[in-house]
Amino acid sequence: MNTTPDLPPHPGDTNASGAPTEDILDDVHYTLFQASGGKRFINYLIDWVAFSLIWQFLFARLIGELLVLINFPIDNTAALYSFSYLSYFTFFGVLLGGVEAATGGKTLGKLVTQTRAINDDGSRLKPGKAFLRYLVRLVPFEAFSALGSPSYPWHDRWTGTLVIDENLTTLPPQP
């Protein structure tokens, strides 16, 4: 007598009563492990050094030439400092937010330490949320909110994001 083994139902199949069967992934639990404060500090240092080098060798010269081109009052020290700081922080925000948005929450520092910024629910970081994370970083003394263990700074708390350790975390499949 030839018998076939009972195979588990496929997702979307219905049982004898016509009710849908459970999806095999319903029992899978996804766990998010926050990155340690040490890894986050290394991320910060690597990103800051990389950005500073880019700024120093590429964009500071272009900004200086732009100031001369538009006849900016270079003898006005307060205006020059204000313009310099504003352009520095704007460029840093666009670069950092843009890189995080384009790579799904990665920066150079996060690539090295194998961490990633994600939404609290485990979903991929969107461009608006990545830029909002940067804007919160401009709040005075925000860097001190990263001290402690676990490290959960304001730019994560206020935007509903999280930096995870990719080696320890199991994420749901992303669309």
Query: Which has the minimum average pLDDT: 23-27, 32-36, 109-113, 120-124?
Result: 23-27
State if pTM tops 0.75.
no
Query: Taking the mean position of all CA atoms in its chain, how far away is CA 28?
Result: 25
Is the pLDDT at 173 greater than 70, yes or no? no
What pLDDT does residue 55 have? 79
User: Who wins on pLDDT, 26 or 110?
Assistant: 110
Q: Please, are residues 100 and 64 in contact by the beta-carbon 8 Å criterion?
A: no
Mean pLDDT of the chain, nearest integer: 77
| CA atoms within 13 A of residue 157's CA, in its CB half-sphere | 9
Alpha carbon distance 100, 56 (integer Å) = 21
> What Cα–Cα distance (Å) separates residue 36 from each residue in 147, 162, 171?
11, 11, 18
For the cut 60, the answer to whether the pLDDT of residue 9 exceeds it is no
- 3-state SS, residue 163: strand
Residue type, 98: G
Query: Cβ contacts of residue 95 below 8 Å, gap of 6+?
Result: 51, 54
Q: What is the mean pLDDT of residues 47-75?
A: 77
Residue 3 in this model has a pLDDT that exceeds 50: no
